[in-house]
Amino acid sequence: MTITQYEYIVAVDTYRHFATAAAKCHVTQPTLSMQIQKLEDQLGIILFDRDKHPVLPTDAGVAVIQQARRVIEEHERLIEIVRESKGVISGTLSIGIIPTLAPYLLPLFVNKFMRKYPDVVLKVSELTTEQITDHLKRGLLDCGLLAIPMEDNSLTTIPLFYERLIAYVSDDSSLYKKKHLVADDLEPSSAWILQEGHCLRSQLLRLCQVKPGQAPRQLAYESGSLETLKRLVDASGGFTILPELAVLDLSKKKLDNVRYFRNPEPVREIALVTHRSFIKRKLLELLAESIRKAVPKELLEDGKKEVVGI
């Protein structure tokens, strides 16, 4: 029995498809199948029910695969210990990031991080919170950048910073005449909102007090892009809600359309999230450090922890 064989059965369990697992392991399907068959012969049990689609592990296979994951984790932990003892900063870090954060946070730290740690490879994917948590549990991601809190005991969070939620209003909106806003100022029928699947959507709906089944505006458009929502506000009126990083690069003219809320201000907390079995602790610490150094200092203020969220 070898680590490679363990990696193959874990890959098949993860992707539930032999060809996909082989591609992810960078081997041919016959090679992967042959090694799994060899492992099954050594163990004297069948690990996968090949007649089912997608492929599923047998009852005995479930227990073996769970143990194989632990063996692989300990093997990777051993390699990581050796790297750290030598002061070597290298490896691959697979990161999932929510779309309402990606275009504003990534440009702040990615280039600096890669220049400082040239032997680290970053693989970044834009995914929803649900997709990130699923991928973390299945071992498809090392970590996620998203908004917390999260109710999942299998995941560990490292808080990074706090973003105020800010209104972006049209020139002809009644909100434009106000210096600061409260939730009661927001008219639900004038709100442009994110589509299902975005964690910021639920915050926006609560803040705007949108009720389930409430009659939509004439143009009922839900977007996955904050940039699209801003353009809709400019072109069609109304307002939308943006996280703080999304307004930092607005032109001076567009900043006139930004309105902050009175205290207690609505906020979201951004964190790095990993599975409890995550191995690359040093890389994670360096990533967290780089992000904290890159964001505006006011987003790191401890005082914001007392601000009431939504």
| Domain limit, last residue, from 22, 50, 85 | 85
The predicted structure's pLDDT at residue 223: 65
- Within a domain: residue 110? yes
Q: Are residues 252 and 282 in the same domain?
A: yes
- Within a domain: residue 280? yes
Q: How far apart are CA 240 and CA 204, in angstroms?
A: 8
The predicted structure's pLDDT at residue 76: 80
Q: How far apart are CA 222 and CA 240, in angstroms?
A: 11
The predicted structure's pLDDT at residue 218: 42
- Within a domain: residue 91? no
The predicted structure's pLDDT at residue 81: 78
- Within a domain: residue 310? yes
Q: Are residues 52 and 127 in the same domain?
A: no
Q: Are residues 74 and 104 in the same domain?
A: no
Q: Which amino acid, one-letter code, is at 128?
A: T
- Within a domain: residue 49? yes
The predicted structure's pLDDT at residue 308: 47
Q: Are residues 118 and 184 in the same domain?
A: yes
| Domain limit, last residue, from 44, 61, 85 | 85
Q: Are residues 78 and 103 in the same domain?
A: no
- Within a domain: residue 90? no
Q: Which among 245, 101, 265, 255 is positioned nearest to 181, based on CA atoms? A: 265
Q: Are residues 77 and 107 in the same domain?
A: no
CB 137 within 8 A of CB 278: no
- CATH number of the domain that residue 194 is part of: 3.40.190.290
Into how many domains does the chain fold? 2
Q: Are residues 110 and 7 in the same domain?
A: no
CB-side exposure of 258: number of CA atoms within 13 Å?
18
- Within a domain: residue 125? yes
- For residue 244, what are the domain limits? 96-310
- pLDDT per residue, tens digit, the chain (310 aa), is 899 999 999 999 988 999 999 999 999 999 999 999 999 999 999 999 988 888 899 999 999 998 998 898 888 878 877 877 777 788 889 999 999 999 999 999 999 999 999 999 999 999 999 899 989 988 888 999 999 887 777 888 999 999 999 999 999 999 999 999 998 898 888 888 887 667 777 777 778 776 655 545 544 555 678 888 899 999 989 999 999 999 998 888 999 999 999 988 899 999 999 987 777 888 899 999 999 999 999 999 765 554 444 4
- CATH number of the domain that residue 18 is part of: 1.10.10.10
Q: Are residues 75 and 187 in the same domain?
A: no
Q: How far apart are CA 69 and CA 80, in angstroms?
A: 16
- Within a domain: residue 211? yes
Q: Are residues 271 and 143 in the same domain?
A: yes
According to DSSP, the residues that pair with 165 across neighbouring strands are 243
| Domain limit, last residue, from 85, 113, 148 | 85
The predicted structure's pLDDT at residue 151: 74
According to DSSP, the residues that pair with 157 across neighbouring strands are 273
